[in-house]
Structure 1
Amino acid sequence: MTTLSFALNHMTAPALSPDAFFALAKSLGISAVEIRNDLDGNAIIDGTPAAEIRALAENHGLTIISINALQRFNQWNDDRAREAQELITYAGDCGAKALVLVPLNDGSGKKDGERQANLRQALAALKPMLEQAGITGLVEPLGFEICSLRSKTEAVEGIRAVSGENTFKIVHDTFHHYLAGEEKFHPEMTGLVHISGVADPGIAVSDMRDPHRILVDAADRLDNAGQVRTLWENGYIGQFSFEPFSPEVHQSTDIEKAIRESMTFLSAKA
């Protein structure tokens, strides 16, 4: 059995308050969490001060490894710059180590040449902002066919093009890795791994969406265990963060038990 370092994304239990979510992580022996800025009626979107989130995390003995996320980051403009600065400031004030960067996912910005240029422009603009705050930018390619940044290799090339290796890392999301059909792993450039599974045998890969993403178990179609093993065996030493979007998971009557079972399964298989 491999001793993996797990983390918990607030999307695992989005209805819980930050305090209850942090308590859940602690109960599982997890010391690293990801907070989000897209949960209606919850922090950060409800105006909860960063200092309050920092104090709660410290009370539970937790590290906030990221805020998830700056959306449409590779559509760089004045609005995006303001949004980025707000999130970077919040990250610094709450003690978060990184900001997840999510690309355009509406079918635009996909053209060859255009998407690479847009990526470099955004990374070049974000680099000094992140460096000044001491925050890492975590670039997360999405595997959906309509996404403007599907390839982790392309993300790494963009980071290197702006000499951003010390400022940016990539997120390896097991769901999006599978959807993109990307075979190459970049463990040396990976700053975080998001894990979720799809078990429904009736869904075509091209039709897989966030609501299908559950906690990983033996019925997983995405080979999470194999992906985790490949990353681990090739030098990745960071966290594996649970990020299921399925309403089935969110409505679980015993989420602690469900997460614990997934942790045990992955540790045994990896």
Structure 2
Amino acid sequence: MIPRALNQKTARHLSWEGFLDLAQRLGCVGVEPRDDLGRPFFDGLDPREAARMARGRGLRLLGLSEVYGINVWDRERAAQVAALIEVAEAAGAETISLIPSVDDRPVVPLREALREVREMLAGRRLVALVEPIGFASSSLRRKAEAVEAIEAVGGSSCFGIVHDTFQHQIAGELQVFAPWTRMVHISGISAPDVPLDASQDPHRVLVDAQDRCGTLEQIAALRAAGYEGAFSFECTDASVQESGALQQEVAASFAYIDSALC
């Protein structure tokens, strides 16, 4: 069985406590809290209390999301990173997520932004994860570019990458970077005869036999290359997020993945 995790976006309508209860019932090893769901991290609870609630259910705080536009580096971005680091440290989270710009603002080379973040992480155990976004409009589409930038700043101890199966597919990237990968986001696009591009991002569903993102193949490739971390459902389709049978549906998708990989 693959190590299971749950991104809060998949269950965005649940309270923090309800989200943790769901993850526990699903047999997850951890969760990924978010602050872009229209409310603050942990529904405004103190990070230490939120962490205590997670640990009490046997769950790790795998990562906090996110700072967007990390390569639009400026004072605002620096302040956002500093604030995210402080919350993550207080909660004992393992990682934070840094997202590249997908709009038309001027960007700096990723390595310049990472140098700044590296200094902010000095002396901390926290790891910052870069998540390439495969859209044609993205300023950082491929993981190879992220790994190159991390290596350029000597950041192997404080940076990693997120492998997102949907983004990997639409970017047309073939190589996986298991040694650099600290989190894998999984989701599927099952609707036939629609383009696999940015327009489908709001329609990412649970993985089933109709998945067109090659999620099973990507999971197998990552595991064969040595990745031993969690696989976290990050679904954005309202039919998933608002389902009255979310637990059963997520459990069925995890079971399908496990059986298909056997």
TM normalised by structure 1 equals 0.93
Q: Which residue of 2 aligns with 1:86?
A: 83
Contact 2:186 2:234 in 1 (8 A): yes
Q: Does 1:195 align with 2:186?
A: yes
1:154 Cα offset (Å) = 0.5
Q: Which residue of 2 aligns with 1:25?
A: 23
Contact 1:38 1:45 in 2 (8 A): no
Q: Which residue of 1 aligns with 2:253?
A: 262
1:107 Cα offset (Å) = 3.3
Deviations for 1:179-203, whole angstroms, at most 9, x for unmatched residues? 1001111111111100000011131
Compute the RMSD of aligned alpha carbons.
1.4
User: Does the residue aligned with 1:91 lie in a helix, a strand or coil?
Assistant: helix
CA distance in 2, matches of 1:149, 1:49: 34
| Among 180, 195, 198, the residue aligned to 1:204 | 195
Aligned residues: 261
1:118 Cα offset (Å) = 2.1
Contact 1:76 1:118 in 2 (8 A): no
Contact 2:29 2:230 in 1 (8 A): no
Unaligned runs of 5+ in 1: 110-114
CA distance in 1, matches of 2:164, 2:218: 10
1:176 Cα offset (Å) = 0.2
User: Does the residue aligned with 1:205 lie in a helix, a strand or coil?
Assistant: coil
| Among 3, 6, 17, the residue aligned to 2:4 | 6
| Among 134, 138, 145, the residue aligned to 2:125 | 134
1:170 Cα offset (Å) = 0.6
TM normalised by structure 2 equals 0.96
Deviations for 1:220-264, whole angstroms, at most 9, x for unmatched residues? 000100000000111111111110011110111111100101101
- Within a 5 Å distance, the mapping from 1:1-270 to structure 2 comes to 3-41=1-39, 43-44=40-41, 47-109=44-106, 118-270=109-261
- The residue identity in structure 2 corresponding to 1:16 is L
CA distance in 2, matches of 1:264, 1:131: 40
1:46 Cα offset (Å) = 5.3
- The residue identity in structure 1 corresponding to 2:77 is R
Contact 1:138 1:169 in 2 (8 A): yes
- The residue identity in structure 2 corresponding to 1:25 is A
